[in-house]
């Protein structure tokens, strides 16, 4: 197994672990962390393919996803904290009345 295959396998494992966490867990903060784990798996595969093809496009995409993920977390954490203050729980099922 060469380096590229190993990095793609690690990327797949990170994404799968994050997806499993989003599906199985009902805690909102844990689900946010698992989504970030999925995003890191995608970023690792982008960097791996960019390194393999000797281009900078993958690195630019990873930088863009880091910026978007930072903005997403900067918005998601305060929203979750406000919801927790209102409902006094982190369980996702308690927020079913927010469906529009």
pLDDT for the residue numbered 59: 85
Question: Residue 39 belongs to a domain with what CATH number?
Answer: 1.10.287.3510
- Proportion of the chain above pLDDT 90, given as a percent: 67
Structure tokens at 13: 């494992």
- Predicted TM-score of the model (pTM): 0.85
Residue 27 pairs in a beta bridge with: 91
pLDDT for the residue numbered 17: 97
pLDDT for the residue numbered 100: 67
pLDDT for the residue numbered 97: 80
pLDDT digits (tens, 9 = 90+) for 33-73: 999 999 999 999 999 999 998 888 888 999 999 999 999 99
pLDDT for the residue numbered 7: 95
Domain that holds residue 71: 3-98
pLDDT for the residue numbered 40: 94
Residue 92 has pLDDT above 90, yes or no: no
| Count of domains observed in the chain | 1
Structure tokens at 73: 């977390």
* DSSP class per residue in 46-83: HHHHHHHHT-SHHHHHHHHHHHHHHHHHHHHHHHHHHH
Confidence of residue 98 (pLDDT cuts 50, 70, 90): confident
């Amino acid at each position: 197994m060469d380096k590229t295959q190993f990095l793609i396998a690690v990327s797949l494992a990170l994404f799968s672990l994050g997806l499993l966490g989003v599906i199985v867990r009902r805690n909102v903060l844990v689900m946010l962390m698992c989504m970030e784990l999925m995003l890191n798996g995608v970023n690792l595969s982008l960097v791996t393919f960019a390194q393999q093809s000797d281009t900078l496009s993958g690195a630019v995409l990873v930088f863009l996803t880091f910026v978007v993920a930072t903005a997403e977390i900067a918005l998601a954490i305060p929203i979750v904290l406000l919801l927790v203050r209102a409902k006094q729980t982190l369980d996702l099922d308690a927020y079913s009345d927010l469906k529009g």
